[in-house]
Every structure is written in structure tokens, then in C-alpha cells.
Amino acid sequence: MVQKQILAPRMIQSMEILQLPILALQERIDQEVQENPVLELQESDPDAAEEPAERELPDAPTDAERELVLDGAKTTEADFERLLNMDEEWPDHFEERSRPSRNQVEEAGERKLDAMANMVARPQTLQDYLNDQLGWFGLEPSLRAMAERIIYNLDSNGYVQGRLEDVLGADATRDDLALAERALGVVQKLDPPGVGARDLRECLLLQLKPGMPMFEQLSRLVGAHLEDIEHNRLPVISRKTGYTIEQIQAAIAELRKLNPKPGADFNETPVPPVTPDVFVEQGDDGRYAVRLEDGRTPSLFISPYYRQLLSAGQASAETREYIKRKINSAQWLIESIEQRRSTLTKVSQAIVDHQVEFLSKGPEHIEPLKMQQIADKVGVHVTTVSRAVDDKWIQTPRGIFPLKRFFCGGTVAADGEEVAWDTVRAKLQELIDGEDKQHPLSDEQLVEKMEAQGITVARRTVTKYRKAMRIPSSRQRRDWTAADKPPEAEEADE
């Protein structure tokens, strides 16, 4: 029971460290260095030549120092106070370390100024953009305040959320509602066109202006036949309006030039670049080998100063106990980081060895793979594999992929070989891209085409993947060209 209590914290820490991606690991190391005085780091230069592998690492304590480390010693408040007062008891040991030079202070200040100068400015929001335009109208204070209130209640697409009564609140009067209607009219005149609408129909109507091509037809179609357009019921529209199918199709082509989500462009946030944890390189022999991105991760070691302080026997018993506990914690962290490196390397290499076809020929040649297969090959538990690949990215000759991307199920082909579901999806897309657009393939026909190529799948599977890939049914695709914006996928195909 005692042994279990000692090992549990180390196991928990090891699992936590294993699960961290490279950037989070760097943050964790910085945090530990700040909190543990016996930890020191040596910044590694990724451009410097590698030192011989047999070099003795500074983070390996001697046998005598290992004996001084406690397994779970308790620390009191007096230990912390004692450590804080150590600079008063041994000033000669701390003076050189703790007092930065003028140049160091100036350099730190310059680094902060550079960081502030290079900070990304806050992007302009839709609300900022609309409020700036209100100044053009010279509105009376009450009307402008109401317009600002409506603007701040717009959703991310630029629509009014709910009714104006909901925006005003339960205690709103008729005068308040009349003022809100006037203010909404002002907001709906702002750029981008269509902003401030209460539904899709109003959003599109706001964007229609006299003089536009087919203005009258579009106004009638949007005002009364938007649902028919959504479901591609062109004959119904023709019968009710008297327009020919060709006129309706031409009007729909103009309709697609409008923006159904006028506020969405302001929600685009820059995607942070992905930092791969693992790199794959192909050697001269054609074999793919992995290496970890740890060149910029600082190397940790236990401070020689605290080792000497502990070995010399000059410190008080309380201070010695505190230092022992901190050295123990530091050693756990160092070993956990090394364990992470070893496990991630083995797991990544096993994945790469299994997915050689993917790397050589492309994503459509991915092989079915389960985490249990990698766990059996590496000799670890499947949960260890799951933690190792979680939130990790790998740089391959085919691009950057999440490590989880290489795990997928599959189906059995006619020849008995397993085919990954990604391959099935790629084949489905290929068949639909190459179909006759005037006579698109139904789900049943897609099943037959795939079976003819040795891939056996159920019709419901094709329907599920088609909907997941946002591919419309064959009836919907019939009158939509590849360049058009496709409608939402229907639940069932004919």
C-alpha cells in the first residue's frame, strides 16, 4: 500500500507530461522552473552542432545525492520561510546570481518593448464597424443610443437576435418600440448590405436594389418562393409566377451573388500556426524515420549550488528537508519528460511504419489502423497511445497532420483486404465529381459503382458519408453545376 502511494504521483505526472504538446510542454517547464528553485535550464541552440551522445548529462545526480532525496517528505511553512531567508544567511552565494547588471535590465526592457510593438492589434469587430458609420447620419442622441443598442444585440452573422421587443425588455413602451423600429431602419442602411435583418428573407431583400439585374424577379422570388428555391422546386415556381425555367435559373444565379451572412466576415480570426511535435524524414534507403521537435525545448538539470548546499551539511535540518523534497520533485519532472520523449518516439515510429503507403502515395492510400495495434507493437497500454497522440501534430512529406489522423477503421474489399473509411470517402467524392451532372448518381448507383471497384459498402453508409461531406442528393445535384454553391444535403436520396 505504501509503495502504491509513492508511485501514484509519479505516474500521474508522467501521464500529464506525455499528453502535453510541444508548446504546452515548454510552458510547463517554464512554470516548474519558476516554482522550483533547484531546477535550472540550459537553453539549447537548435542551430548549434550536436555534442557527442556520450556527454555526461548535468541533470543526473550522483549516487550520494540520490540517497539524500526523500520519498514524500512533508514540508511546513517554516521550510518556505527558511528558504526565503537563505540569502541573508549566505549572502556570498546569492549576490552574483540574484543581482542583474544594468545591461541585463536594459536588454529585458528592450525585449518587452519589442514584444509590445509586435503584438497583433485587436481586429475590428462588426459592432465597431457599424458604430463608426453611425456618425455619418447626425442622429439625435436617443435614436443613436437605440441604434447602438440594436447593434450590440446582433449575432455573429449580423442578424437581430429575436424580436425587437426582446431587445428592449419587458418594460418597453410603444414609444420605445417605435424608436427601435426607426433605429433598426438606420442600422439596415449600414454596410455590409443585409445587416440588421431579422431572418434570411429580409437579409436578401435588403441587398436587392433597383437597377440590379433581374431586380423584379428576384424581389418576387425571395419574397414568396424562398423555400421553393431551397428545395429546387423550379416547376412549382414557374407555375405560380409564369416565369420560364430558364428565367428562374438565371435569377437564382444572381441570387447566389448575395451574402446570406453579412456579418460573418468579421468573425474570421487568424488561425495560429501549428507546431509539429514530430517530423518524418525519408532516408537514403527509402525508410521513413521520425524525430521529435525538442531542439528548442530547454534542457533541465538540478542546480549544482543546491546539491553542494545539501551535501556540505551547512544548512539547517528544515532547509535540508525542503531542498530534498524539491530535488525529488525536479528529478520526477526530468524523468517524466524523458519518458515522454521515448514513448512519443516509439509510438510515432510505429504509426509511420504502418502508414508507409500514405506517405509514399498520398492520403487516399491510408491503411486501417487501431490504437490497440500500436499499443501491442510498442508494448504499452492503449491509453498510453491515446495520450501520446492527443493534440500532437506530425510534419510529413505529404504535409502536416494530427497524429490521430492515422487511426481509422475500415471495411473489407472484394479481395479480402481492409480498406480505410478515408479511402471510401475519397472514392465517393471521386465518383460524384466525375458523374454526369445532368444525370447524377443516386446512392444506390454509387453503391454499385464502388462495388464494381472492389469496395463493398451498404447504401446507408454511402448516405451517411454523403451527408457528412455536405453533398446534396442526386435530385438536388441535377440542376446545380460544380461551380455553384450546393444546397444542404437531404436526409435521403431517391
Query: Which tens digit of pLDDT belongs to each residue from 306-320?
Result: 877 777 767 788 888
The x, y and z cell numbers of residue 284, run together, are: 537514403
**pLDDT surpasses 80 at 155:** yes
Mean pLDDT, the chain, integer: 75
Whole-number pLDDT of residue 98: 39
pLDDT at 379: 92
CA atoms within 13 A on the CB side of 204: 19
CA dist list (Å): 438 to 200, 333, 475: 29, 64, 10
Best CA proximity match to 477, nearest among 427, 445, 438, 450: 438
Beta-carbon contacts of residue 171 (< 8 Å; ≥ 6 apart): none
Cell numbers given for 257? 451573388
| Residue-level pLDDT at 195 | 92
Question: 347 pLDDT exceeds 90?
Answer: yes
- What is the per-residue pLDDT for 269? 59
Q: What average pLDDT does range 135-141 have in this prediction? A: 84
pLDDT tens digits along 362-413:
776 777 788 888 999 999 998 899 888 988 898 888 888 888 888 876 454 4
For the segment 235-280, what is each residue's pLDDT rounded down to a tens digit? 888 998 888 999 888 999 888 889 999 888 886 555 567 788 899 9
Query: Which of 233, 141, 157 lies closest to 196, judged by CA?
Result: 157
Tell whether the torsion through CA atoms of 22, 28, 32 and 35 is positive or negative. positive
User: Cβ atoms within 10 A of the Cβ of 124, count?
Assistant: 10
pLDDT in tens, 181-215: 999 999 999 988 999 998 999 999 999 988 888 88
CA atoms within 13 Å, Cβ hemisphere of 158: 30
